[in-house]
Amino acid sequence: MQVEVKSGTDQYTVQQTRLQSVIEQVSSRDMIITDTNVLACYPALSNSKGQIISIPAGEESKSFVQYEAVVEQIFQAGFLRNGTVFAIGGGVVGDLAGFVAATVHRGVRLVQVPTSLLAMVDSSVGGKVGIDLSYGKNLLGSFYNPASVYIDPTVLQTLPTEHFQNGMAEVIKYGWILDVELLEILKKENFSVNSHNLEEIVFRCVALKRDVVEADFTEKSGLRAILNFGHTVGHALEAQAEYKNLLHGQAIAVGMVAEVAIANELGLSQIRTQDVESLFQQYQLPIRPTSYVNIDQLISLMLGDKKSTGNGIAMSLVLEPGQCKLVDNIDPALVRRVLANIWS
């Protein structure tokens, strides 16, 4: 399976390829950036001709400190501008390694090799790279397309269940924003890492994302922002938790339920929150925060969200299943009231 992406002035292919054959492509000029979990699962990475930088697994690594540490190692290793950065790992590795590739020597060739479901269906495609700051998630970064994306769905078999569910949150998101039929498929078939047709779902999501990023690569028109359904609340929850003990998929699942309630309160939709909740529950994703949340602090974080233009809170809201729109200037008092109500 493969999907062609034409994005900005770039063109690349997202293609199904075995991880082993990617490892064989790595030359002595190249650098693999991965994390401790992926390296433990795939010791064959150490047999590649390239050098390896391994970061601690987890969202906390998408930090300024880790970025600096990787850049330091890359220059110490003598990495030159004709080398390629292979980002082999989940979303954190892809975003951090992508930002390193975008900035080192003012930009070097980047190959994304996503090993988590979340990275396969979302973060490895579309060229968003970056790191988190205490002010909010993904606030320092760039749009930087990969030269290629290689997906090996068989690696999902080594993914811990919680991380599979984490990726399912983004899969479910595509259904709500763009693809009603996908929602039905997800309801009917209880996907797991062992599902024989998982790769079809992965490439279906990649094709949906391709359509969005081809139309609005740098998120100028507002179209690409629909990929952020659930993310205004979700990113604020992640920042408040200091990027610890809360997976991105879990945060956006809670965020999608909350944002449906907010859209209803604004009179923009009539989706029953139970309908949104049931699919997340089917995939063992949370629908409410699982630990204490300071709603006032959350509101401040949402006001500083990347989508915000300074007029209230900006959210990508689903108007009806399969149809989503960026809505700006939402009254923080309304958001506060809805969150306090549904989370009480």
Closer of 198 and 252 to ligand GLY (Cβ)? 252
Q: Which of 173, 209, 210, 307 is catalytic?
A: 209
User: Is the Cα torsion angle 304, 213, 9, 50 positive or negative in sign?
Assistant: positive
Q: Which of 231, 238, 277, 307 is catalytic?
A: 231
Structure token pair of residue 153 = 């769905």
Q: Which of 228, 259, 277, 307 is catalytic?
A: 228
For residue 320, indicate whether it is catalytic.
no
Count helices and strands (H / E) in the chain: 13, 11
> 151: helix, coil or strand?
strand
Structure token pair of residue 107 = 């930009």
List the one residue from 59, 122, 132, 305 that touches ligand GLY (CB under 6 A).
Answer: 122
- The residue range among 147-155, 173-181, 222-230, 298-306 that interacts with ligand GLY, by the rule CB under 6 A, is 222-230
292: DSSP letter: -
Minimum separation from the CB atom of position 214 to ligand GLY (A): 12
Q: Which of 37, 59, 145, 170 is catalytic?
A: 170
Question: For residue 344, with 0-12 CB atoms within 10 Å meaning exposed, 13-18 middle and 19 or more buried, which class applies?
Answer: exposed
Q: With binding defined as CB under 6 A, does residue 102 bind ligand GLY?
A: no
Structure token pair of residue 285 = 């994703």
For residue 128, indicate whether it is catalytic.
yes
Closer of 130 and 286 to ligand GLY (Cβ)? 130
Binding mask 36-75 for ligand GLY (x = CB under 6 A): ----------------------------------------
For residue 224, indicate whether it is catalytic.
yes
For residue 196, indicate whether it is catalytic.
no
Closer of 79 and 209 to ligand GLY (Cβ)? 209
What is the rounded CA–CA span in Å between residue 63 and residue 258? 27
List the one residue from 224, 235, 248, 307 that touches ligand GLY (CB under 6 A).
Answer: 224
What is the rounded CA–CA span in Å between residue 243 and residue 91? 13
For residue 6, indicate whether it is catalytic.
no
Binding mask 124-153 for ligand GLY (x = CB under 6 A): --x-x-------------------------
For residue 219, indicate whether it is catalytic.
yes
Closer of 213 and 246 to ligand GLY (Cβ)? 213
> 24: helix, coil or strand?
helix
Total residues contacting ligand GLY (rule CB under 6 A)?
6
What is the rounded CA–CA span in Å between residue 64 and residue 56? 14
Residue written as tokens 């009179």? 267
Written as one string, the DSSP assignment of 222-286 is: SSGGGGGTTHHHHHHHHHHTTTSS--HHHHHHHHHHHHHHHHHHTTS----HHHHHHHHHHTT--
Query: Which residue ranges make up the site for ligand GLY (CB under 6 A)?
Result: 122, 126, 128, 224, 227-228
Cite the active site residues: 106, 128, 170, 209, 219, 224, 228, 231, 235, 248
